[in-house]
Amino acid sequence: MQITRRGFMKASAAAATLALASRTRAGAAVDIRLSACDWSLHMSAQPEALDVAQELGLEGLEISATDEVRDEIRLADPAFRAQYKEAMERTGLPVASVGMAFLNQAPFARDPRGPAWLEQTIEAAADLEAGVILMAFFGDGDLRDEDGGLREDDVDTLVERLRDAAPMAEDAGVILGIENWLSAEQNLAILERVDSGAVQVYYDVGNSTVRGYDVPAEIRLLGERIAPSVHFKDGDHALGEGDVDFDGVADAMRDIEYSGWVTLETAILDDDRDASFRRNAAFVRDLFGITD
């Protein structure tokens, strides 16, 4: 597959998401910044979540496109986006990425509003200078049937809709990251059919571990087709205390010279959100040898 406008997309994503103060990365062959999902902070679609991210020592935030399923997502409203711009100015933190988690309840491949939602999110992400959009395919939006096989009709529609949206995303400098329960090979097959550097895989090390995939091997296989934002979580545990092979993950990310966000979608332990996120952020920094 020849990925279209690859250099442009990599440069655009880097400029949009990684234009932050430089730091020393002792022994690290990856260039990462730390973010978190606003829903994991229990602050979905709340601009004030950027203030919390700043207090927690994070460098960005993955925000929700909307707070509920509606014909027009909340971020489509310029006045609502202005609240995020004010929060970004106030905190000095960027919106790292925009999550379309609501697609788990309103499947992108089946809901007729799907293409319009994606166009609205691309426009909003570009306005907020967020380089990545997370497109979720879990719950009702799962691309697998009850027997674990592919929902071929859904995949066909997904490919068609992504092909239609890809030029807009390319022009906006935004990457569409698909996150699902599929294997790396199955996701690569989808990317081959879409044939656009603007569509990549939003990789989640926790989800793939739950599915029993060889996560380090998948990271190496996907390589540059991994979107510049990766979810870190370890089930109901703090990072490093569950089943995820984080040493293997870190080695694989170094091997592919990963550059982008590590986004915490982590559990809250002992009802202490802030302590939990600080602990997990410290784990990631230690894992990659990051020093301020």
Edge-to-edge strand order for the sheet containing 259-264?
31-36, 259-264, 229-232
Instruction: Give the per-residue pLDDT at 38.
Output: 98
DSSP letter for each residue of 120-183 = HHHHHHHHTT--EEEEEE-GGG-SB-TTS-B-HHHHHHHHHHHHHHHHHHHHHT-EEEEEES--
pTM for the model: 0.91
pLDDT for 17 equals 44
Contacting residues for 272 by C-beta, under 8 A, at least 6 apart: none
Q: Which domains does the chain have, with CATH numbers?
A: 6-18+29-287 (3.20.20.150)
With a CB cutoff of 8 Å and minimum separation 6, the contacts of 103 are 114, 117, 135, 136, 137, 141
pLDDT digits (tens, 9 = 90+) for 212-262: 999 999 999 999 999 999 999 999 999 999 999 999 999 999 999 999 999
Residue 29 pLDDT grade (very low, low, confident, very high; cuts 50, 70, 90) = low
Whether residue 98 is predicted with pLDDT greater than 70 in this model: the reply is yes
Work out whether the CA dihedral 190, 195, 199, 204 comes out positive or negative: positive
Q: In the block, which residue shows the tokens 């995939």?
A: 213
Residue 7 pLDDT level (bands cut at 50, 70, 90): very low
